[in-house]
Amino acid sequence: MTLLEVRDLHVEFSTRDGVARAVNGVTYGVEAGETLAVLGESGSGKSVTAQAVMGILDSPPGRITGGEILFEGRDLLRLPEEERRRLRGARMAMIFQDALSALNPVLSVGYQLAEMFRVHQKASRREAAEKAVELMDRVRIPSARARAGDYPHQFSGGMRQRIMIAMALALEPRLIIADEPTTALDVTVQAQVMELLADLQREYQMGLILITHDLGVVADVADRIAVMYAGHIVESAPVRELYGEPGHPYTKGLLDSVPRLDQKGRELDAIKGLPPNLLRVPPGCAFHPRCPMARGVCRRDAPPLQQIGAERSSACHFWKELLDAR
Amino acid sequence: MPAEPILQVRDLVKHFPLTQGVLVKRQVGAVKAVDGVSFDLRRGETLGIVGESGCGKSTVAKLVTRLERPTSGTIHYKGADVAHATGRELKALRRDIQMVFQDPYTSLNPRMTVGDIVGEPFDIHPETAPRGERRRRVRELLDVVGLNPEHVNRYPHQFSGGQRQRIGIARGLALRPQIIVADEPVSALDVSVRAQVMNLMARLQEEFELSYVFIAHDLSVVRHISDRVAVMYLGKLVETGSDTEVYEHPTHPYTQALLSAVPVPDPGAAAARERIVLRGDVPSPADPPSGCRFRTRCTKAVERCAREEPVLAVPAGLAGEAGPVRHPSACHFAEERGPVGTL
């Protein structure tokens, strides 16, 4: 059984200027022990999808208008809120980008970690405090026992992100969603945190969804990548295939537009134009105004996400041409 | 034959005092944000300054543009000292040295139209353009940076992040400066838009014969745009050289670790690379380690590193070498580890 399966999910936001369709029929799945990276720029719907899965979508203005979210076989969207609350933290957990605002500034980190055990497992105060220290040890925070009484602002960015990871891991959930977990960190610290996350995921055989805008960060750790654009998944493939021969012009554009450490050139192949305004998504393929391969059909018909290989799919009318051109 | 330097920075220091007490403030220490930085910027080149947060790179930008007054040191530009200039002289220097900021959301006044933002430099320096001509100049500038000149009357919130950064660049170009100091100009932008802005900056450099000081934490971005690179750690430069020297033949352990940590968007290359994962965090600049500032995280550190501060110069051990290994590196044990990140 697939650990998590999102099927044809639709999410809308009502705004003063109209309805923004943030997620338009997203389908993806994660197995236990697998890492799925969801890649996209701001406004692509990658975080909103995750919030819908976790059940922490701001509603209103957000609204799930269709689809299913199957977690261990049960449709989360049909569960009563009380039951979903019990799943959060215990069976599925989330790591946020900005640890400083995700942690409570007036409680010590030890207390916040211990709270997980006290609320979900009805552990005693002392038992919970002991487990909190163990947890801090496990995410490699030096002198964990001494630091359990410290407050979030007393930790560096990398250490705070470790505490976030500890908190997500506390109850040994089956699924972890990490939303840009290393974006706010420096490169050297970023490498440490990614390594920790990958180690722990292997150890516990969890499913991991890694949400990011950075093509580099996920290349090492992800098994599969789903690329999102304007609320759609435009391509989904195993890591090597996606980087080696992208099956969607947007993916190719992204890969061509990042400067690389090991390649120096004067001009980058930038994708022209801007990501679409979600209130006015272009008709047909949402990417067509920026696409170098766009033709008449792209302006009329939205391409469905179709199987283009054993384990990969693309939402482009001309995926074959793109692959053949290489 | 390298071009002559247009800007010479020598022993630049900026200490921010730490005070205690409410009524009577006593100085209890200082954050040594920049602590003896020297570099040359040559005409028409791009000097990239890379480093992690808190290393002082943004303070360098503010000192060079004289948004902050240095504690000591000199900044020579065309025979004048930017560090000590005042009044009319300073105003004239500022015309030639302009800045582009990181955050296109907070660096543009939300109550001013784009036309007013880009035209404001002409109000401050009225001698640069006669009043009647300003409107035309503003439209030209918008056109140059790839914005629609018809949009002069719009407000910043009506533009996307990438477009706002173009507005910031147009404002920086207004007075036809010689030098542009860009502090993380593309960090806040989405990947696809980032490339557009970098290409724009490269094009403008050629068109207007600009010299750039390009400050960023992203090593790939810096390599892409820079002719020469300076790596900064805790208020000091640790390694400088051409992009080939620093990126393909780094000799300072910090540069090597930094380069090895950069994610490469290629799963094959990523797996084959050797990663140097640094221990711990950057120490506080209020109380930097003695001797070499990197020693607390360095794998090569020995007792000598705590005692003796390495100077930024071509290391004695590499002085006999020819080729790109021979470049300034502030380490007692500078040596090449083999190309990092190139596979």
Q: Chain B, 39-78: which have a CB under 8 Å from a chain A CB? A: 52-53
Q: Any chain A CB within 8 A of the CB of B284?
A: no
More confident residue, B330 or B27: B330
* pLDDT above 70 (res B1): no
What does the pLDDT read at residue A227? 95
CA distance B122 to B120: 5
Locate the domains of chain B by residue range: 251-343
* pLDDT above 50 (res B343): no
Mean pLDDT over all residues of chain B? 88
Give the DSSP H/E element, type plus range, for residue B77. Answer: strand B72-77
Distances in whole angstroms, Cα of residue A53 to Cα of each of A4, A140, B23, B323: 9, 29, 53, 56
Of A42, A243, A266, the CB nearest to B202: A266
Q: What digits encode the pLDDT tens for the residues B261-315?
A: 887 777 776 666 777 777 777 888 888 899 999 999 888 888 999 999 999 999 8
More confident residue, A190 or B179: B179
How many H-runs (helices) and E-runs (strands) does chain B carry? 11, 10
Strand pairing category for B72-77 and B80-81:
antiparallel
Among B70-84, B176-190, B242-256, B258-272, whose mean pLDDT is lowest? Answer: B258-272
Torsion of CA B280, B286, B291, B296, to 10 degrees: -10
> Taking CB atoms and an 8 Å limit, are B263 and A265 in contact across chains?
no
Distances in whole angstroms, Cα of residue A94 to Cα of each of A27, A50, A52, B85: 20, 9, 12, 53
Q: What digits encode the pLDDT tens for the residues B308-340?
A: 999 999 988 888 888 888 899 999 998 887 544
Pair A249, A211: CB distance under 8 Å: no
> Taking CB atoms and an 8 Å limit, are B220 and A257 in contact across chains?
no
Q: What digits encode the pLDDT tens for the residues B70-102?
A: 999 999 998 889 999 888 999 999 999 999 988
> Taking CB atoms and an 8 Å limit, are A268 and B269 in contact across chains?
no
Can you tell me the mean pLDDT for B41-52? 92
Of B191, B259, B263, the CB nearest to A257: B191
Can you tell me the mean pLDDT for B115-141? 90
Task: For residue B123, give how far its alpha carbon lies from the nearest alpha carbon of chain A (Å).
Answer: 32
State the pTM of this model: 0.82
Q: Is A242 exposed, middle or buried (0-12, 13-18, 19+ CB in 10 A)?
A: buried
> Taking CB atoms and an 8 Å limit, are B341 and A261 in contact across chains?
yes
What does the pLDDT read at residue B270? 63
Q: Any chain A CB within 8 A of the CB of B207?
A: no
Cis peptide before B130 (omega within 30 of 0): no
**Most confident option among B12-21, B23-32, B114-123, B257-266:** B114-123
**B-chain residues within 8 Å CB-CB of A159?**
281
**B-chain residues within 8 Å CB-CB of A272?**
196
**A-chain residues within 8 Å CB-CB of B195?**
257-259, 268-271
CA distance A48 to A62: 9
What does the pLDDT read at residue A265? 60
Render each residue's pLDDT in chain A as its tens digit; 326 residues: 789 999 999 999 988 888 889 999 999 999 999 999 999 888 899 999 999 999 988 888 889 999 999 999 899 999 998 999 888 888 999 998 888 888 999 999 999 999 999 988 899 999 999 999 999 988 888 888 989 999 998 888 888 888 999 999 889 899 999 998 888 788 888 888 888 888 889 898 999 999 998 888 888 889 999 999 999 999 999 998 898 889 999 999 988 888 877 666 657 788 888 888 888 888 999 999 999 988 889 999 989 999 998 889 999 999 988 888 76
Q: What digits encode the pLDDT tens for the residues A171-194?
A: 989 999 999 888 878 888 888 888
CA distance B62 to B56: 10
Task: For residue B266, give how far its alpha carbon lies from the nearest alpha carbon of chain A (Å).
Answer: 6
Of B192, B198, B258, the CB nearest to A254: B192
Could you give the 3-state DSSP secondary structure of residue A306?
Answer: strand
**A-chain residues within 8 Å CB-CB of B207?**
none
CA distance B340 to B343: 8
User: CB within 8 A of A101, min separation 6: which ones?
Assistant: none
Please give the ipTM for the structure prediction.
Answer: 0.72
DSSP B151: G
> Taking CB atoms and an 8 Å limit, are A188 and B262 in contact across chains?
no
